[in-house]
């Protein structure tokens, strides 16, 4: 655990007692603070009280008297679409509002670091799509290289729940816009921006606010190295803001759509090959096409980001290449479930928005596409023209009929995962891929994208067992 520094003897309110909130309370206590906890869910309060924490209704008049700060869990809105009443009360009382990410960055460095031969390094990854794969891939590279490393944030453990990093240790963080938007301290050594596409727009009052939340990691943090995907206008703009000139190699530009050979430091992927260029000259090249854990151009972009971060740490290209080749992939992200009679089944339940689904559709040929769910802001217009590899769509979700009418491919309304998988499996031919890439949130039918993916896997296994006569 990372004991929180700076609040010894102070009362610190904690709103939201899920994973990050409860860990924040523990870390505050470990640092000598007095956590005052609240959650609207009685079961969450009961759990906190069973650990000895004080729970007090923070919505009551005068709740913030004598309170030094309010720590808010990521899912609780602090500004848009409107502030949570407790957050507003804290702001009215002049109490600073922060989150566990801010506490982590203000607390992780200790005087002990002065005695290390190599100070620990913090790598933070943000963006719309590919964050989880990028950090998991980077963690895999570091493990393959024998480097001490820990994975935390929006994936793995909560940031305050990790062990204090040792001499030369590396902490790899996945950070969502919910986390970067509020953190009062953001000081990574290396920061990565993968890409940007519409998502969480209600929470950030549109694309401008969404981009601003991501940009804070770079503008507030001032990382030593900034790795920026420049295939969208926002990334190109951000790279330009951070760079002092076209030869400034503190900014590493990434692309999976074009060759980058400028005077600075560039990493790009084209036609399945990753290339690194420095000062206009090629420094390395890796053939990604046969790496089964990284199918499609979107995963090649993730490989570029993880490769660039590993190079910033001084790892050799050949070592990185070996790790990329053995990367097994993450559950629910281009996860190959099985193959029967030439038909491949792929679970990409994490493709919860239009952009990520479009990228998944570009990674395979002859697709039997299972899609649908709770539509996000912006509709499905971004899928127009992206379904050229789709033979047929099988639409799930409570609003499956409305979803299907917006697609520019043949679509059958199936509603349930069971029916969609059964129909797709029955109609698939050798060479086809049955792909779950919903382009929508899961909450109309499932508690999470993981539950949706698990249902897909279960239904696929049922079909495979039936075909094998098991």
The whole-angstrom separation of Cα 387 and Cα 371 is 12
Contacts of 284 (CB under 8 A, 6+ apart): 274, 275, 276, 317
**Segment (H or E) for 227:** strand 225-229
**Any idea what DSSP says for residue 381?**
G
> Quick check: 427 and 378 in contact, CB under 8 A?
no
The structure tokens 């523990």 sit at 26
* Distances, alpha carbon 76 to alpha carbons 40, 71, 99, 192, in Å: 11, 11, 10, 25
Total Cβ atoms within 10 A of residue 354: 23
CA 96 to centroid of chain Cα atoms:
27
Residue list for the binding site for ATP: 127-133
Rounded Cα distance between 227 and 235, Å, is 10
Strand pairing class (11-15; 34-38): parallel
- Distance, CA of 137 to CA of 320 (rounded, Å): 10
Full DSSP string of 151-171: EEESSSB-GGGSPPP-TT-EE
Q: How far apart are CA 44 and CA 445, in angstroms?
A: 24
Q: What is the DSSP letter of 220?
A: T
Residue ranges at the known binding site = 127-133
Listed residue (61, 143, 432) closest to 313, CA to CA: 143
Torsion of CA 115, 118, 124, 130, to 10 degrees: -150
Q: What crossing angle do the helices spanning 233-242 and 207-219 adopt, rounded to 10°? A: 30
């Amino acid at each position: 655990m990372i004991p929180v520094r700076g609040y010894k003897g102070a009362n610190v309110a904690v709103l939201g007692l899920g994973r990050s909130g409860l860990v924040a309370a523990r870390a505050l206590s470990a640092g000598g603070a007095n956590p005052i906890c609240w959650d609207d869910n009685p079961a969450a309060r009961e759990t906190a009280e069973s650990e000895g924490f004080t729970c007090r209704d923070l919505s009551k008049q005068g709740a913030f008297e004598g309170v030094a700060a309010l720590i808010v869990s990521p899912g609780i809105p602090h500004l848009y679409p409107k502030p949570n009443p407790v957050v507003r009360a804290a702001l009215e009382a002049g109490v600073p509002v922060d989150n566990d990410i801010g506490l982590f960055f203000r607390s992780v460095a200790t005087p002990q670091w002065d005695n290390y031969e190599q100070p620990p390094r913090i790598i933070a990854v943000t963006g719309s799509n590919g964050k989880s794969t990028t950090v998991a891939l980077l963690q895999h590279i570091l493990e393959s290289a024998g480097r001490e490393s820990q994975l935390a944030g929006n994936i793995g453990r909560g940031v305050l729940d990790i062990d204090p990093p040792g001499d030369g240790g590396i902490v790899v963080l996945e950070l969502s816009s919910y986390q970067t938007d509020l953190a009062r301290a953001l000081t990574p050594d290396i920061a990565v921006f993968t890409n940007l596409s519409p998502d969480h727009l209600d929470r950030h009052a549109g694309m401008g606010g969404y981009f601003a939340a991501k940009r804070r990691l770079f503008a507030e943090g001032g990382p030593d190295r900034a790795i920026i995907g420049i295939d969208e206008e926002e990334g190109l703009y951000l790279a330009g803001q951070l760079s002092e000139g076209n030869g400034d190699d503190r900014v590493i530009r990434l692309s999976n759509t074009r060759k980058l050979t400028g005077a600075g430091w560039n990493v790009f992927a084209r036609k399945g090959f990753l290339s690194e260029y420095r000062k206009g000259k090629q420094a390395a090249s890796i053939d990604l096409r046969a790496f089964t854990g990284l199918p499609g151009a979107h995963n090649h972009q993730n490989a570029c980001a993880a490769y660039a971060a590993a190079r910033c740490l001084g790892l050799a290209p050949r070592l990185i290449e070996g790790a990329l080749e053995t990367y097994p992939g993450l559950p629910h992200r281009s996860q190959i479930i099985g193959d029967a009679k030439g038909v491949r089944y792929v679970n990409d339940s994490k493709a919860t928005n239009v952009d990520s689904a479009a990228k998944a559709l570009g990674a395979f040929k002859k697709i039997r596409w299972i899609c649908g769910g709770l539509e996000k802001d912006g509709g499905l217009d971004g899928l127009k023209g992206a379904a050229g590899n789709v033979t047929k769509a099988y639409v799930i979700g409570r609003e499956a009929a409305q979803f299907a009418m917006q697609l520019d491919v043949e679509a059958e309304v199936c509603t349930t995962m069971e029916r969609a998988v059964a129909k797709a499996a029955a109609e698939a031919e050798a060479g086809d891929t049955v792909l779950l890439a919903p382009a929508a949130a899961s909450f109309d039918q499932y508690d999470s994208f993981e539950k949706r993916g698990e249902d897909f896997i279960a239904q696929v296994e049922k079909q495979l067992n039936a075909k094998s006569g098991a």
